[in-house]
């Protein structure tokens, strides 16, 4: 998992060089600031779902990515992300025999590709998809006379999402500032899932 995430981060570092030739040819025709390396903070609502129930928490995280512009309107690029709820998230359900099964979610790491459309040079609508990995814990609190269990593991999965971004500064700014909102759904391989509704604020390094 860490190897894949490091690869994604490396792509965000290498992509500006590989895309520079194409990007420079359209830079004068496309005055948008939605190009180059971006770093953002994310904050919002977190819902972890398991065992037929869910738990809602406040969450926060960060994203680093790179965007290139194709044909003046299409924005494409990779990103790597981190997310966690404020006090982790745990769902507990009774077993019917006096015990409880509790499923806890810790941080999520992700790597995705984002594709967007420039409605205006300052306003982007985008969708994204990619890989996620979530640290989890599952335990059985057994009633008297039974044996419980405890399992700490990581679960792979995929993410799908979309959102909006708006640049607050001019398109010729040396350090553009942007804000945004997005929804992301993560499905993990152990049949658990996460939903995030986030507000973002970030900077671009063109």
Higher pLDDT, 22 or 32: 32
pLDDT in tens, 33-42: 899 999 999 9
pLDDT in tens, 149-177: 899 999 999 999 999 999 998 767 788 99
pLDDT in tens, 115-144: 999 999 999 999 999 999 999 999 998 888
Q: Return the SS3 of 34.
A: coil
- Domain encompassing residue 68: 2-205
Higher pLDDT, 185 or 170: 185
Does 28 score more than 80 pLDDT? no
Beta 149-167 vs 123-141: how paired, if at all?
antiparallel
Does 25 score more than 70 pLDDT? no
Q: Measuring CA to CA, how many Å separate 188 from each of 10, 87, 104, 132? A: 24, 20, 13, 8
Does 53 score more than 60 pLDDT? yes
Q: How many domains does the chain have?
A: 1
List the one residue out of 21, 19, 13, 30 whose CA is nearest residue 74. Answer: 30
Query: Is there a contact between 143 and 165 (Cβ–Cβ < 8 Å)?
Result: no
> What is the chain's mean pLDDT, rounded?
87
CATH number of the domain that residue 52 is part of: 2.40.160.20
Helix (H), strand (E), coil (C) string for 130-168: EEEEEEEEEEEECCCCCCCEEEEEEEEEEEEEEEEEEEC
Does 13 score more than 70 pLDDT? no
Query: Is there a contact between 161 and 183 (Cβ–Cβ < 8 Å)?
Result: yes
Q: What is the pLDDT of residue 20?
A: 44
């Amino acid at each position: 998992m860490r190897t894949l995430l490091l690869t994604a981060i490396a792509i965000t570092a290498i992509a500006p060089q590989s895309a520079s030739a194409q990007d420079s040819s359209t830079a004068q025709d496309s005055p948008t600031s939605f190009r180059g390396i971006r770093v953002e903070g994310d904050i919002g609502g977190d819902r972890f779902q398991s065992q037929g129930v869910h738990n809602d928490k406040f969450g926060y995280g960060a994203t680093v990515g790179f965007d290139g512009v194709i044909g003046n309107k299409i924005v494409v690029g990779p990103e790597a992300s981190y997310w966690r709820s404020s006090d982790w998230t745990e769902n507990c359900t009774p077993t019917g025999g006096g015990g409880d099964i509790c499923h806890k979610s810790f941080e999520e790491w992700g790597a995705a590709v984002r594709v967007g459309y420039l409605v205006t040079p300052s306003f982007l609508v985008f969708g994204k998809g990619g890989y996620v990995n979530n640290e989890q814990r599952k335990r059985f609190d057994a009633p008297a006379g039974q044996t419980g269990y405890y399992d700490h593991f990581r679960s792979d999965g995929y993410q799908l999402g979309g959102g909006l971004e708006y640049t607050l500064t001019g398109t010729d700014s040396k350090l553009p500032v942007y804000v945004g909102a997005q929804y992301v759904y993560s499905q993990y391989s152990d049949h658990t899932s996460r939903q995030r509704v986030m507000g973002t604020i970030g900077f671009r390094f063109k």
